[in-house]
């Protein structure tokens, strides 16, 4: 059996642990050096494959490969580049397969979310037809936790932990200031379509009535009167109120809060203005002093407070993808399976990509409390295991030491530059 | 010698380590139980003294007192309440002394910034005149690092570490996305008058040219053209640009960026809108895709990533205040002294409050690079030791376990309620 090389690429918004999956891939390939040759990583994701910009992973030091496990964001570069459908741009897929053929690549390991699962599936299908079969395995990654079939997505546990920790800490701050100053704190978190990240803020609660007092989900239509009444009531009862708002919070008609009111003044439609919209309401209608925070990239890059469970799972799906490749599989994705039993334990399972692509997992309605402002015990039971354990990176000079890759590119073999 | 009690209060914006100072106070008082009686803490700071709402610290468990060392924010409650001048409201100072007299309090330990140093001094002076001398000791605390005489302020080192870590992490994120998506990341940090916190982001740099690429200080007049040119140039050279902006960034005429442009749409003058103002400029003038974050309370409550040096110093000044009290001193403040020598070491010194009150320590001009967008080696040499070491809190259920005090109030002895 001839040894084929493996191509690995990172796709879409990065996470605190996507490099742990890369580490799992690379270490597993090394163990299977009798079956798989080198790992080539796409410089800036799939764009690197289209441009024939392939990072020769064998040029990286062993220390750097080990350090990938504790390095956040996409060390090889990621991209937001969705391949069109086969009908619309078959040439793009054919180019991919041509590049893979030129570099003797037999394994396509694609680390991303829903869109990349779809791409992965198409590469698997088309390569068969083109007579150069490539084993395409998708490795799950998303902070949004919206992939189907897997119990949870690697990347989510760490953002969940960051949000829970930050909510607990900021809540102590407003609680200590509220007698004479700030009464309301609004914390805007990621989540355009699904409220998983906002829900994780509830893990900050230790006792009934603890902050956050209000959580806003994209799944629940925003009702201004009801929201303001709840803020007012909470301030009266507790002296302060902590609100965690999903960036995708929307009115019943589907208008995003971030697209309405004050954010229009920014002159853009990019989400990320729920918190200023909310505090403006609170000031105008209730006259309460407020503070607000917007974590943005901080939340998904916060490797310093990553969940040890998440790191272990991200690493495991990376390894599992290689095992699946070695076992001759294609068009599949390793998934996290929650084992049954009273204590949390997990294992890695397998899902066919045809069932993964183009499906989004929303929060079940029974995870959201009846009034729409909190989560149920079922949600807490689901979320709690995912943030367990700390996995601190090494520090030097007071800051975490993260991998710095050399990113040596493989010599190009194709003339065509594909116009990118 | 009769044993007097001690009064302790937290003042102004809280920090990740102000409770470490409280822990130092309480533990040192216990060791001097032959000289000092109980510790009464003001519920919500000095307001608690005026209202005669005194927390009986002896009612708290030993575990909770120990846990204060790793608990952020003001566990006894803080307040934004500045006593007027003696001429304007002498009655307020007299009320304080009356309350102290009623509870046999001989030591006033006030934990705060510049304003509270001033209050502390006045209490010391007036109590002498009123024939009930109180030893007033100020314990330094501020994230802004703007107190004079002390080498640095407890509270600053931890926010500095948080900003350095977060900047490094978010910079990796934008670097991995920039090929096809976000080109500019703007991170707004605290600092109205002094740029110490923004300066600390430079500690994220490991090699020349690393992020942050632009730092905006309140001390340097904002020049829109120069700023946009630097953003453009950085994106061209590095593919992306990371900007760290002080909330107090202002134009040459003293107008805050946060008070101009888009933030007017929020309908308030509260600072905290530099980042949206900047990204709006970047979008309109350069057309670059951006993300932005506003850390707000997250940065000063982030005990999970506190600087071990800062924690040790905060604890030490708490203890030192008690030692000064026992030594018969008044109108003084323990300070951090940077010892000379090639290796960083520090000790606790003493400063007279009359030299502390109403003076603000700005960043020296030679700490800011010539172009005004970065820091010099002198600044790095000053800042680096302050973020050294990690001092992780204990975790339970995936989140840090922080002290929850009972806050049992001492029975009131005075009829008058002082109208508060």
Question: A185 CB near a chain B CB, below 8 Å?
Answer: yes
Q: Which residues of B301-329 are buried (b: 16+ CB within 10 A; e: fewer)?
A: bbbbbbbbbbbbbbbbbbbbbbbbbbeeb
pLDDT, averaged across chain A:
94
Within this chain, do residues B310 and B295 fall inside the same structural domain, yes or no? no
Residues A294 and A308 in one domain: no
- In Å, what is the CA distance from A238 to each residue of A164, A168, A183, B165? 20, 16, 10, 33
Q: Is residue A406 part of a domain?
A: no
Question: Are residue A36 and residue A108 in the same domain, yes or no?
Answer: yes
Domain-located, residue B385: no
**Whether residue A313 sits in one domain with residue A297:** no
Asked if the structure places residue A408 within a domain, the reply is no
A257-290 per-position pLDDT tens digit: 987 543 333 344 444 489 999 999 999 999 999 9
Residues of B in contact with A74 (CB under 8 A): 176-177
In a domain, A365, yes or no: no
- Report the CATH number that the domain containing residue A224 is assigned in CATH: 3.40.50.460
B20 and B93 together in one domain: yes
Residue B164 within any structural domain of the chain: yes
Residue B190 placed within a domain: yes
Q: Is the pLDDT of residue A412 over 70?
A: yes
Question: b/e string for B27-59 if b means 16 or more Cβ within 10 A?
Answer: bbbeeeeebbbbbbbbbbbbbbbbbbbbbbbee
Q: Tens place of pLDDT for every residue, chain B, 420 residues?
A: 579 999 999 999 999 999 999 999 999 999 999 999 999 999 999 999 999 999 999 999 999 999 999 999 999 999 998 888 888 888 899 999 999 999 999 999 999 999 999 999 999 999 988 899 999 999 999 999 999 999 999 999 999 999 999 999 999 999 999 999 999 999 999 999 999 999 999 999 999 999 999 999 999 999 999 999 999 999 999 999 999 999 999 999 999 998 754 333 334 444 448 999 999 999 999 999 999 999 999 999 999 999 999 999 999 999 999 999 999 999 999 999 999 988 999 999 999 999 998 788 989 999 999 999 999 999 999 999 999 999 999 999 999 999 999 999 999 999 766 655
What domain range is A266 assigned to? 156-302
What are the pLDDT digits (tens) for A101-129? 999 999 999 999 999 999 999 999 999 88
Query: Which chain A residue is nearest to residue B306, measuring alpha carbons?
Result: A398
* B115 and B215 belong to one structural domain: no
pLDDT in tens, A2-45: 799 999 999 999 999 999 999 999 999 999 999 999 999 999 99
Domains in chain B, number: 2
Is B80 strand, coil or helix?
coil
Strand (E) or helix (H) holding A172? helix A156-177
Q: What is the pLDDT of residue A370?
A: 97
Q: Please tell me the predicted confidence (pLDDT) of residue B58.
A: 97
One domain for residues B348 and B291: no
What is the least distance, in Å, from the CA of B165 to any CA of chain A?
A: 6
A180–B272: do the CB atoms touch at under 8 Å?
Answer: no
Q: With an 8 Å Cβ cutoff, are B389 and A398 in contact?
A: yes
Q: Is the separation of the CB atoms in A109 and A23 below 8 Å?
A: no
Task: State residue B209's pLDDT score.
Answer: 94
Task: Identify whether residues A248 and A347 lie together within a single domain.
Answer: no
Find all residues with CB under 8 Å of B357, minimum gap 6, and list them: B114, B117, B118, B121
Helix %, strand %, coil % of chain B (to 5): 40, 20, 40
Q: Is B242 on the interface with A (CB under 8 A)?
A: no
B12 labelled binding-site residue: no
Same domain? B49 vs B102:
yes
Q: Where does a domain end: B300, B325, B343?
A: B300
Strands (E), B19-126: 36-42, 54-56, 105-112
Residues A318-353: tens digit of each pLDDT: 999 999 999 999 999 999 999 998 899 999 999 999
Cβ pair B295:A297 closer than 8 A: no
For A356-386, the DSSP string reads TTT---PPPGGGB-TTSSSB-HHHHHHHGGG
A142-187, pLDDT tens digit by residue? 999 999 999 999 999 999 999 999 999 999 999 999 999 999 999 9
Active-site position among B104, B118, B144, B371: B144
Per-window interface: B 56-75 vs A, CB < 8 A: 71-75
Q: What CATH code is carried by the domain that includes residue A333?
A: 3.40.50.450
Shared-domain flag, residues B245 and B312 = no
Residue B263 confidence (pLDDT) = 38
**Across A359-381, average pLDDT:** 95
Residues A296 and A326 in one domain: no
* Structural domain contains residue A366: no
Q: How far apart are CA B281 and CA A134, in angstroms?
A: 47
- Supply the pLDDT for residue B268: 40
Nearest one of B416, B289, B75, B26 to A272, comparing CA atoms: B289
B135 and B15 belong to one structural domain: yes
Q: What is the structure's pLDDT at A416?
A: 67
CA distance A34 to chain B (A): 32
Please state whether A40 falls in left (phi above 0), alpha (psi between -120 and 50) or beta.
Answer: beta
pLDDT, residue B360, reads 86
Residue A260 pLDDT: 52
Res A263: pLDDT: 38
Structure confidence at residue A417 as a pLDDT band (50, 70, 90): low
Looking at residues A387-411, what average pLDDT do you find? 98
Query: Is residue A144 flagged as an active site residue?
Result: yes
Question: What pLDDT does A270 receive?
Answer: 44
From A266, A283, A302, give the residue that closes a domain: A302
What pLDDT was estimated at residue B100?
A: 96
For residue B375, being part of any structural domain is answered with no
């Amino acid at each position: 059996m001839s040894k084929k090389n493996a191509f690995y690429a990172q796709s879409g918004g990065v996470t605190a642990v996507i490099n742990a999956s890369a580490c799992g891939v690379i270490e597993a390939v090394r163990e299977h050096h009798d079956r798989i040759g080198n790992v080539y990583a796409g410089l800036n994701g799939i764009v690197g494959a289209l441009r024939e910009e392939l990072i020769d992973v064998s040029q990286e030091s062993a220390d750097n490969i080990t350090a990938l496990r504790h390095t956040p964001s996409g060390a090889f570069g990621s991209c937001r580049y969705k391949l069109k459908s086969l009908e619309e741009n078959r040439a793009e897929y054919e180019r991919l397969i041509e590049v893979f053929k030129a570099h003797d690549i037999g394994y396509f390991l694609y680390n991303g979310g829903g869109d990349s699962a779809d791409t992965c599936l198409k590469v698997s299908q088309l390569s068969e037809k083109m007579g150069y079969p490539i084993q395409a395995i998708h490795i799950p990654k998303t902070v949004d936790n919206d992939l189907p079939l897997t119990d949870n997505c690697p990347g989510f546990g760490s953002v969940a932990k960051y949000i829970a920790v930050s909510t607990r800490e900021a809540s102590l701050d407003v609680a200590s200031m509220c007698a004479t100053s700030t009464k309301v704190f609004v914390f805007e978190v990621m989540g355009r379509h699904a409220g998983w990240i906002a829900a994780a803020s509830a893990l900050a609660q230790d006792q009934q009535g603890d902050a956050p007092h209000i959580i806003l989900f994209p799944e629940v239509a925003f009702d201004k009167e009801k929201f303001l009444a709840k803020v007012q009531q909470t301030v009266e009862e507790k002296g302060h109120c902590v609100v965690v708002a999903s960036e995708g919070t929307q009115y019943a008609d589907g208008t995003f809060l971030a697209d309405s009111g004050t954010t229009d003044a920014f002159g853009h439609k990019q989400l990320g203005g729920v918190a200023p919209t909310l505090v403006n309401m609170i000031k105008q209608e209730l006259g309460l002093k407020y503070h607000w925070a917007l974590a943005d990239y901080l939340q998904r890059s916060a490797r310093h407070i990553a969940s040890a469970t998440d790191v272990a799972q991200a690493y495991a799906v990376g390894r599992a993808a290689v095992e699946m490749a070695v076992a001759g599989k294609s068009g599949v994705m390793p998934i996290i399976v929650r084992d049954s039993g009273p204590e949390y334990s997990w294992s890695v399972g397998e899902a066919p990509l045809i069932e993964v692509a183009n499906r989004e997992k929303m929060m079940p309605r029974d995870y959201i409390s009846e009034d729409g402002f909190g989560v149920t015990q079922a949600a807490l039971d689901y979320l709690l295991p995912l943030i367990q354990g700390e996995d601190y990176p090494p520090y030097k000079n007071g800051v975490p030491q993260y991998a710095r890759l050399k990113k040596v590119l493989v010599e190009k073999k194709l003339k065509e530059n594909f116009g990118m």
